[in-house]
């Protein structure tokens, strides 16, 4: 296949079309030229892949946000994170979530305990995400969706810790949540406590086995919060997930 009206459009002209700022002559050419239109689609797909790979590439890690909030960063790093927070609504929202979570811990924390608590907020890195408004971060409450086996699991990450969650239909309209943890120090998470809450009320606790697996059976489909707490005090907060069959 060749351009129907040579010379064919170059990449710069095609990118202006992909970005929606093409000149009238470029748009007219693409309306009648399947060859150049196909090249534009290929460039659009490439641009989408690059955008996905670079999404939040410059954002500080969850542990850096936690150390920023607790005042543990060096002064130069503190200034850099503060500047980033002024420009990045995603990290600003994540920091608010972390502040709210730590505030909830304060009434029951023993003196000096809060300084030893390490809280990680997991980020969605793979799987379905439905009903999320454009521009909202992946961890926004109730926008991470976990559905039946046909839709596959979701994968979350927190400071190198990978968590895979899947849901399987059970009897009576309920579901079973299957979880798998993978970490560099797997023994650190053996015996970790998994807390599952719905509507602000604790519904179930279970533990992680020596293979990094856990499951929660007999769960009603609903917005659900999951926390994983290791034996040495590391808490992983999974964003609110919307469970549906």
159 falls within a domain:
yes
Best-predicted range by mean pLDDT among 25-34, 104-113, 124-133? 25-34
37 falls within a domain:
yes
DSSP of 140-207:
-TT-EEE--GGG--EEEEETTEEEEEEEEE-GGG-EEEEEEEE-SSGGGGTT-EEEEEETTEEEEEEE
For 44-49, which contacts have Cβ atoms below 8 Å and span 24 or more sequence positions? 44/18, 47/15, 47/18
Q: Are residues 110 and 147 in the same domain?
A: no
pLDDT (mean) for 112-139:
58
Which CATH number is 124's domain given?
A: 2.60.40.10
Q: Which domain holds residue 66?
A: 57-116
pLDDT (mean) for 113-142:
56
Which band of pLDDT confidence, cut at 50, 70 and 90, is reported for residue 142? very low
Specify the number of domains making up the chain: 3
pTM above 0.75, yes or no: no
From 90, 116, 142, give the residue that closes a domain: 116
6 falls within a domain:
no
From 66, 97, 116, give the residue that closes a domain: 116
Quote the distance between the C-alpha of residue 65 and its chain's center.
Answer: 15
């Amino acid at each position: 296949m060749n351009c129907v009206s040579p010379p064919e459009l170059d990449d710069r002209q095609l990118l202006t079309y992909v970005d929606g700022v093409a000149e009238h002559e470029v748009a007219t050419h693409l309306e009648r030229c399947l060859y150049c239109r196909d090249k534009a689609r290929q460039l659009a797909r490439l641009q989408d892949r690059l955008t996905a790979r670079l999404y939040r590439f410059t954002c500080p890690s969850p542990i850096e946000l936690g150390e920023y909030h607790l005042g543990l960063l060096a002064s130069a790093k503190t200034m850099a994170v503060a500047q980033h927070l002024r420009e990045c609504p995603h990290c600003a929202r994540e920091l608010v979530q972390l502040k709210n979570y730590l505030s909830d811990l304060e009434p029951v924390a023993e003196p000096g305990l809060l300084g030893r608590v390490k809280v990680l907020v997991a980020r969605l890195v793979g799987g379905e995400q439905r009903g999320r408004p454009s521009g909202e971060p992946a961890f926004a409450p109730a926008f991470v969706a976990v559905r039946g086996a046909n839709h596959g699991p979701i994968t979350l990450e927190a400071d190198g810790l990978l968590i895979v969650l899947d849901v399987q239909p059970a009897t009576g309209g309920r579901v079973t949540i299957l979880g798998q943890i993978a970490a560099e120090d797997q023994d650190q998470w053996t015996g970790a406590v998994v807390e599952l809450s719905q509507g602000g009320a604790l519904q179930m606790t279970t533990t992680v086995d020596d293979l990094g697996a856990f499951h929660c059976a007999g769960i009603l489909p609903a917005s659900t919060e999951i926390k994983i707490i290791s034996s040495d005090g590391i808490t992983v907060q999974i964003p609110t997930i919307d469970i549906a069959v």
